[in-house]
Amino acid sequence: MLQSILATKFVDIVSVHTNASRSEFSQDEVEKLAHNFLLSGGSTRPLIVRPKNAEEYDVIEGHLEFYAALRAKELDDNFEMIQAIILDSKNEKAIVEQVNLFKEITPSPVTPHSDNKLIERIKNLEKQLSSDINNLKTQLSNQTESPDLESILKSQLDALRNDLTGEKFIQEIVDRVIDGIEKPIKMVERIKLNTASKRELINVPGIGEKIASAIINIRNKKETKRFENIDELTEINRITLNMIENNKWHEWFIID
């Protein structure tokens, strides 16, 4: 019997590194895989890694699986290990050749226009940032200040921003997300829903330019030119009671 060179080993997730950006992968796919990893206990597709030193590894193949495992660990700290094939001088040539052969055989998806690809990465980045913000807000729910957590997340945002260096609007995304962190911490003055300007509305979590304009438009169409309660915002398309609850709009707005 031929001796297999594809033996796998469990390695600590935090000891694994990748040069692929997280924004290259759909946040939804990463999230779904992460939850499945927690449900099934791991991945059916082992990573292929090369030792970086005695304790660390670089991903050669399986970058999506790595980010899903990393997300699974964020969701449950007990998820610590991921299955991997570790390259060495005896197996590297054959395994890398096999990986490349599969890439040649498997039909490549149609590559989108570079602008569309960049937009997709921006969307993935925004979803990732939103997920980070929601996780942080949960931790801050019973606190008035948490400079350490804020510093950590700002550092993460800087790293993500560097992934798309040269795009001016990335700075705008990062600034808005950081604003979203600072507001719950600083607890700015509540906003009067019936007199708020578009600029004021945009400062509220979950509200962008389109929703802000829609709020003002609906408000102006009302006979009294005012909302009677916060839940009336559901008259606007895309706004639901869950959205109001998740973004704590009852705390952000007052009916004047």
Q: Whole-structure pTM over 0.75, yes or no?
A: no
> 48-80, pLDDT tens digit by residue?
999 989 889 999 999 999 999 999 998 888 999
Q: Residue 101 — pLDDT band, cuts 50, 70, 90?
A: confident
Closest to 207 measured CA to CA, from 256, 254, 247: 247
Higher-confidence residue of 17 and 117: namely 17
Q: Which CATH topology does 9-105 take? A: 3.90.1530
What are the CA-CA distances from residue 9 to residues 48, 58, 86, 252 (Å)? 10, 15, 7, 50
pLDDT in tens, 218-243: 999 998 999 999 999 999 888 888 88
Alpha helices in the chain (DSSP H): 27-40, 63-75, 92-105, 114-140, 147-162, 168-186, 198-202, 209-221, 241-246, 249-252
- For the chain, the domains span 9-105, 114-186, 191-254
What's the CATH number of domain 191-254, 3.30.420, 1.10.150, 1.10.10, 1.10.3470?
Answer: 1.10.150
Sign of CA dihedral 183, 185, 186, 190: positive
